[in-house]
Amino acid sequence: MDAIQKNLLMEVAALDALPQGAYNIRANGESAARNTTANIDIVTKTDKPGIDIIFKPGTKKESVHIPVIISKTGLKDLVYNDFFVGEDCDVTIVAGCGISNCGGEDSQHDGIHSFFVGKNSHVKYFEKHYGEGTGSGKRFMNPTTIIELEEGAVMELETSQIAGIDDTLRITEAKLGPGASVIIHDKILTNGSQSAKAEMHVAMNGDGSSCDIISRGVAKEESSQEIVIGIDGNAACKGHAECDSIIMDHGVILATPQLKATNVEASLIHEAAIGKIAGEQLNKLMTLGLSEKEAEDTIIQGFLR
């Protein structure tokens, strides 16, 4: 890999070398490196681009890295990755995509990730999106995450888009069985003329299921964001969503809650707030010697942490 590709790997997956355990690194539309373990298998799909990642039942304290990097201008990349997690597992998945576009054509990555999580398994999923480049070509990312949790399964998602993506549509859909739980923490930062739309929808279909969705967004300059969070309570369940956003300059933010209960034992809560950075926060940091921009950056970093 060249220096640009190595930098992208560091940004999206915190890798400066090949990781321990299982991994599949995709670079410019092709598999660049792969490793499997006794408990985690990675198989190339034969009917469409992408891979199947298979965790044997009972797999504990193991991880798989599946980052995607694009350093060619004009490349349009589409992958379908399916994760099959057996019963009674405890595993970590590190994904993410980085695009460096220094040319005049648009580059794009669309990733469709489907998760089938067995009974009483626990999955932690990290996905980070990042863009850079000095060219006039734009950088597009459209991730779709589809989740099916069996009885007692838990999935925690930490997803973020922190720089350099001109346009994105981020879709997350989850269906929960009895006693299953999903926790989603999503963070988006936009600036310039960038636009981002995030749609998150959870259907709690089993008694005792629960979800907790926390969305954080910062829209700077002329950028725009739209966040739609929907929760369906179809059983005796508990659902909570929180959407907090900071608007700056001439940014635009639209936040839409959608709560639907079809069971009298469903308890659903949605909280939303949009506002500017408080003046007293800026003043306090500036009295410590920071410039106004440095103070703003510090506040934003803390908000998106």
Tokens of residue 56, six digits: 């044997």
Confidence of residue 284 (pLDDT cuts 50, 70, 90): confident
Q: Residues 198, 203, 209, CA angle at the centre, nearest 5°?
A: 120
- Whether 17 shows a pLDDT value over 90: the answer reads no
Q: Which segments of 178-234 are extended strands (E)?
A: 181-190, 195-204, 210-219, 224-233
Q: How do residues 64-92 score in pLDDT, each as one tens digit? A: 999 999 999 999 999 999 999 999 999 99
Confidence of residue 163 (pLDDT cuts 50, 70, 90): confident
Do residues 265 and 256 make contact, with C-beta atoms less than 8 angstroms apart? no
Confidence of residue 167 (pLDDT cuts 50, 70, 90): very high
Q: What is d(CA 5, CA 262) in angstroms, rounded to the nearest whole number?
A: 49
The reported pTM is 0.94
Average pLDDT, stretch 116-139? 95
Number of structural domains (the chain) is 1
Look up the domain containing 81 and give its range.
3-303
pLDDT at 287 (0 to 100): 87
- Whether 51 shows a pLDDT value over 80: the answer reads yes
Confidence of residue 1 (pLDDT cuts 50, 70, 90): low
